[in-house]
Structure formats: structure tokens, C-alpha cells
């Protein structure tokens, strides 16, 4: 096969520079599509798995075998294998070998990236519906670690696309005059800004959960859907570096506008 350095044989003292040895990486056109060897190997092996050349359960060639095939050093190959491992495509068992894994639904992972991808370039408008200092309700006090009588800042935002609302955000922030947090939050005018602002500077950790809920009357009004419509509810809690909660809130977004999507298997869109 020699998928790696097709040229063969002569390996110079050092691969990268010398213009004579025709290696994979020479395909760089000055500074455009340079691809590191380990990435190349990952792609090749992934493609073989995707094509069924290596089937689930099969044992891959040994590391030294791959080293010979691709004509790279063990370290480089090892790096490629590590990537395959934590993409979940293969398993390595010390002393036995490397094996192709089957798909396992339980390992699917979904990201919120799609949420911003969906609306990043679009004509998305962020409308600040409410911004006020309120006495903390029972649940708010619990989530933010406040005492009775303490206050919190309440924010509510509506996100629209072409005039149609698709997401609603409610948030309670600990009120701390020393922290100019709230003011900066008020400036936010983009979806991206909202998502980034939360974790901007002063936060160390976030805890997130997604549920499927029926729209309550109020939120239904904002989103212009009938009450009871099933929507996603993304709940978030942010903590500062001392572990104290700083912010708690929920995003409600319409499922017919946005779904969590992912793929499993060896054809990662890379």
C-alpha cells in the first residue's frame, strides 16, 4: 500500500525541508494546504474503517506495521492512534493490539455549536425584554446561594430571526455593585455575544442541562406558540473561581427551529 510517502525509500536526514525527497508534506503549496503526517494517517485509517476495509472487531496492523507502511516514526504513528482512540473509532489494549470498535449509541455526543452555526450569519435580532433588580425568589436564592432579602438582577431576552422569535432567555445574576458584570451584559446584542458573555472572563465553571418541557403561558406568548408546545430548556449555572454561583437561567428554544444533530462512525466531517 504505502499510502504514506508514496515516493518510497530514500528518507533524508530530515523530512520537512529538503526539496529533493518527495514526501507527503511536499504537497503544501507554499503555505496553503499543508497537512501534518499524523493528520494524514488519521484520515487514511478513518477512511478504511468507513469503507469497511477494517471492520468492527478486526485487529488493525500493529504499530510497527503501520510505521513501516506510512514510513513515519513510532511517535508520529502513536499520535495518530491516540486521535483515533479518543474519537472512539478504535480501542487499544496493551499487549494485544488495536481493534476497530463498533458503533455505540451511548457514546453519541451532541454540541450546542449548531445553535450558533444556525443563526450566526442570519439576521438575528436580540431584544432585551426585561432588566431589573428584584428580590430573590425562593428558588433563585437557593440556586445562587443568596440569603433571604438579597437581591438579584433579572434579565429576559428574546431572540428573533427575520422577526420570528425562536428562543427566549431568562437569567438571574447575583447583584454585586462592585462587579460591572450586569452593565456589560446589557450591551450584548447578538446571540454569539450572549453565549460568549456568560463565560467571558469572570467565570470558572458552568453546569448545563437540557430538558424537554411544555411551554408555560408567559414564555409561549413571547415565542408566539401555543402554550404546551414542546421545547428545549437549556438550564445553566455559572460559578466564579471560588465556586460560588453567579448566574442561573434558562434558554427556551423551539425544537422545530433547532435540533441537536450528530453522527457516529468513521466519516467525520472533519
Partner DNA sequence: ACCGTCAACTTACCTAGATAACTACAGAAT
Partner DNA sequence: ATTCTGTAGTTATCTAGGTAAGTTGACGGT
If the CB atoms of residues 72 and 246 are measured against DNA, the closer one turns out to be: 72
* CB proximity list for 232: less than 8 A, separation 6 or greater: 210, 211, 212, 213, 251, 252, 253, 254, 255, 258
Q: Provide the β-strand partners of residue 212.
A: 232
* CB proximity list for 75: less than 8 A, separation 6 or greater: none
Cα separation, 250 vs 4, whole angstroms = 50
Cα separation, 48 vs 267, whole angstroms = 10
**Interacting stretch for DNA, rule CB under 7 A, among 14-22, 172-180, 203-211, 217-225?**
14-22
29 binds, options DNA, a copy of itself, none, Cβ within 5 to 8 A by partner type: none
Q: Which of 92, 114, 189, 237 binds DNA (CB under 7 A)?
A: 92
Nearest to 234 by CA among 203, 264, 258, 262: 258
**Interacting stretch for DNA, rule CB under 7 A, among 77-85, 130-138, 154-162, 180-188?**
77-85
Residue 63 engages DNA in binding (rule: CB under 7 A) = yes
If the CB atoms of residues 102 and 135 are measured against a copy of itself, the closer one turns out to be: 102
| Least CB distance to a copy of itself at residue 75 (A) | 7
**Interacting stretch for DNA, rule CB under 7 A, among 87-95, 147-155, 208-216, 239-247?**
87-95
Using CB under 7 A as the criterion, which residues of the chain lie in contact with DNA when the complex forms?
11, 13-18, 23-25, 28, 31, 34, 36-39, 60, 62-65, 71-76, 78-79, 81, 92-98
Amino acid at each position: 500500500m504505502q499510502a504514506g510517502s508514496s515516493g518510497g525509500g530514500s528518507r533524508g536526514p530530515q523530512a520537512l525541508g529538503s526539496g529533493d525527497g518527495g514526501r507527503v508534506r511536499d504537497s503544501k503549496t507554499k503555505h496553503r494546504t499543508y497537512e501534518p503526517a499524523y493528520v494524514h494517517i488519521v484520515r487514511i485509517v478513518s477512511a478504511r474503517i468507513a469503507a469497511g476495509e477494517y471492520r468492527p472487531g478486526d485487529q488493525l496492523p500493529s504499530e510497527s506495521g503501520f510505521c513501516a507502511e506510512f514510513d513515519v516514526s513510532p511517535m508520529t504513528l502513536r499520535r495518530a492512534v491516540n486521535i483515533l482512540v479518543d474519537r472512539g473509532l478504535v480501542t487499544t489494549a496493551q499487549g494485544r493490539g488495536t481493534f476497530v470498535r463498533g458503533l455505540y449509541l451511548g457514546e453519541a455526543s451532541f454540541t450546542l455549536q449548531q445553535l450558533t452555526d444556525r443563526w450566526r450569519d442570519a439576521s438575528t435580532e436580540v431584544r432585551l425584554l426585561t432588566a431589573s433588580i428584584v428580590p430573590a425568589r425562593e428558588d433563585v436564592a437557593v440556586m445562587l446561594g443568596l440569603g433571604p432579602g438579597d437581591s438579584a438582577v433579572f434579565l429576559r431576552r428574546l431572540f428573533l430571526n427575520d422577526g420570528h422569535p425562536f428562543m427566549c432567555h431568562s437569567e438571574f445574576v447575583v447583584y454585586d455593585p462592585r462587579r460591572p458584570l450586569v452593565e456589560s451584559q446589557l450591551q450584548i446584542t447578538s446571540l454569539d455575544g450572549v453565549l460568549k458573555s456568560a463565560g467571558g472572563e469572570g467565570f470558572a465553571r458552568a453546569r448545563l442541562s437540557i430538558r424537554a418541557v411544555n411551554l408555560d403561558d408567559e414564555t409561549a406568548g413571547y415565542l408566539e406558540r401555543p402554550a404546551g408546545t414542546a421545547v428545549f430548556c437549556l438550564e445553566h449555572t455559572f460559578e466564579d473561581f471560588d465556586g460560588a454561583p453567579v448566574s442561573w437561567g434558562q434558554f427556551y428554544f423551539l425544537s422545530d427551529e433547532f435540533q441537536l444533530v450528530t453522527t457516529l462512525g468513521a466519516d467525520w466531517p472533519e
